[in-house]
Amino acid sequence: MSAKLIDGKKMASAIREDIAEEIKVLKDEFNVVPGLAVVIVGDDPASHTYVSMKEKNCKNVGMYSEVHRLPEETSQEQLLELIHHLNENDKIHGILVQVPLPKGINENIVNSHIKPEKDVDGFHAINTGNLFLGEETIEPCTPKGIIKLIKSTGVEISGKNAVVVGRSNILGKPVAILLLHENATVTICHSKSKNLKEHLLNADIIVAAVGRPELIKGDMIKSGAVVIDAGTTVVEDKLVGDVEFDKAKEVASYITPVPGGVGPMTIAMLLENTLEAAKKKCK
Ligand code: NAP
């Protein structure tokens, strides 16, 4: 078997086109332009690249964008002060604080100061709580994008065995909850899990969210499985996923590439969440 590629780049591009159309309508009917503020603290080069990509994507769909680049020595208090200003700024519908943050700044405290309705990353405790409860919420971008990628295959999620490898608050845990809401039977594996291969061989759907290049080998994948690889690690200047792609594509039915799979969908979902936040404000 040779797996079909799930083209995240193409899907994200179609979503961005729809978003651009909706923004035009919002502007014409309500004179509202959705606005996203991104805050970055410190000099991490990869984070600066991600932030510039977000800025460019916002502009391309006609969204208002502000980027606040703060120095490494910024205190938590100074950062919270900026967030409070952005909370009160009517031009801003979404606020995102890029991680990682420098030592001395607590990510959870920072997220808790963003107004829940402007928390387009979906990391505020109210939004994660509502996600857990199955109530209406702002879903975190990467997990939301992953569910759309799986659904794009046409493979029914309900009743399937899904294995999520990784249990971080931003990725593994929320994607597992979303899969549960889709009625999958979900197993979460992590660094202390025994027999990863045994779990994976039972999976109809695999979501790899680890950050260990090619941890998941071809012989750990059940024939016909849908494989979503969220992992991204730079190895010798190349982005490498958590799945041994060349071998995995011989057994899987559908697979995402790295790059060009989950990554582009994450930004598309950020734009979608910001647009939704602006639409709610209009209502
Ligand atoms: P993280 O916070 O470091 O979490 C990694 C998870 O992997 C942890 O739960 C860890 O288990 C688990 N793990 C580590 N080694 C393992 C092993 N040998 N077997 C099984 N599980 C293992 O990372 P993250 O923030 O969730 O990100 C994961 C990956 O996704 C990274 O490569 C990141 O760059 C990528 N990512 C991509 C996007 C995107 O848009 N494409 C967005 C976010 C993240 P413990 O909990 O036991 O330590």
Per residue in 211-250, pLDDT (tens digit) is 999 999 999 999 999 999 999 999 999 999 999 999 999 9
Check residue 244 and give its pLDDT: 98
Check residue 282 and give its pLDDT: 87
Architecture of the structural domain at 31-115 = 3-Layer(aba) Sandwich (3.40)
Cβ atoms of 142 and 228 closer than 8 Å? no
The tens digit of pLDDT for each residue in 18-38 reads 999 999 999 999 999 999 999
Return residue ranges of the chain for CATH 3.40.50.720. Answer: 141-263
Stated pTM of the model: 0.97
Which of these is catalytic: 98, 118, 173, 249?
Answer: 98
Pocket test for ligand 1, best of 139, 170, 191, 195 (most atoms within 8 A of CB): 191
Distance (angstroms) between ligand 1 centre and the Cα of 209 equals 5
Residue nearest to atom 15 of ligand 1 (CA): 191
Distance (angstroms) between ligand 1 centre and the Cα of 225 equals 21
Q: Is 121 a catalytic residue?
A: yes
The domain 141-263 is placed in CATH, from the list 3.40.50.9100, 3.40.50.720, 3.50.30.50, 3.30.870.10, at 3.40.50.720
Return residue ranges of the chain for CATH 3.40.50.10860. Answer: 31-115
Pocket test for ligand 1, best of 190, 240, 267 (most atoms within 8 A of CB): 190
Q: Cis check for the bond before 143: say yes or no (omega within 30 of 0).
A: no
Residue count (the chain): 283
In three-state secondary structure terms, 3 is coil
Ligand 1-lining residues (CB < 6 angstroms):
142, 165-168, 170-172, 189-193, 196, 209-212, 215, 230-233, 262-263, 266
Burial class (CB in 10 A: 0-12, 13-18, 19+), 234: exposed
